[in-house]
Amino acid sequence: MSLTVKRARPLIAAALIGSLPPFGLSRAGDIKPLQVAVIKATTGLCRRGETCHTDRAGSWTPRKAIAILAVSVAEQADIDLYADIELSTRPEMYQCAGDDSRGCIFRAKYAGPGLFDYGATSGSTYLGSNITNTSISFPSGYGLMVQAGQPIYLHLDVRNGSLIDLKVDQDAWIYYVEAD
């Protein structure tokens, strides 16, 4: 009898393991389609040497309740530009400090690399690109919930340290699934 039990345990274990989805993934019927929303934002024309602050520079309003799984913001400047970017459901930037973080989704800062002016008043010298992606993703099973009809804003605060006036555009990609 003990020989039969010993042989049965590996067979039962193999049957159980074989029924599990590979690498801990959900079964195909359990996977929800990942959707992407792109918020396009702009400060408009930002004159050289100025700081251009724009609350609600861009926005997107989901029609259904969603769970945000990841956010990506690409640096798009190849010149002397400092950008502070905030993605939140709050209508104004810099409201995500302290203990009350409701509605705060993502914040990133970057400084464009390439313009070395050494006190010059014209011309430019580019060292190269510092284009990076700044992103955040949440562990499996977690997401930031946003209710249907709640606007998500992309706020911008940009300091144009270049020698030219710029129209500063910024995109944010929101990866989400519709909530049940």
Domain count, the chain: 1
**pLDDT at position 15, please?**
43
Residue 111 lies in a domain: yes
What pLDDT is stored for residue 27 in this prediction?
57
Q: Count CB neighbours of 46 within 10 A.
A: 22
Whole-number Å distance between alpha carbons of 91 and 40: 16
The verdict on residue 8 lying in a domain is: no
**Domain assignment present for 15:** no
Contacts 24+ apart (CB under 8 A), 114-122: 114/78, 114/79, 114/80, 115/79, 115/80, 115/161, 115/162, 115/163, 117/80, 117/163, 120/163, 121/163, 122/163
In a domain, 69, yes or no: yes
Its sign, for the CA torsion 7, 9, 11, 12, is: positive
pLDDT, tens digit, for every residue of 44-73? 999 988 999 999 999 999 999 999 999 998
- Amino acid 128: pLDDT: 47
Structure tokens at 36: 């992407």
Specify the pTM.
0.72
Domain of residue 148, residue span = 31-178
* Residue corresponding to tokens 């274990």: 13
- 156-177 pLDDT, tens digit per residue, is 999 888 778 888 888 999 999 9
Q: Can you give the pLDDT at residue 33?
A: 83
Query: Does residue 23 form part of some domain?
Result: no
CATH number reported for the structural domain that contains residue 63 in this entry: 2.60.120
Residues of the chain with pLDDT under 70: 1-30, 75-80, 112-133
Cβ count near 162 (within 10 Å): 20
136 assigned to some structural domain: yes
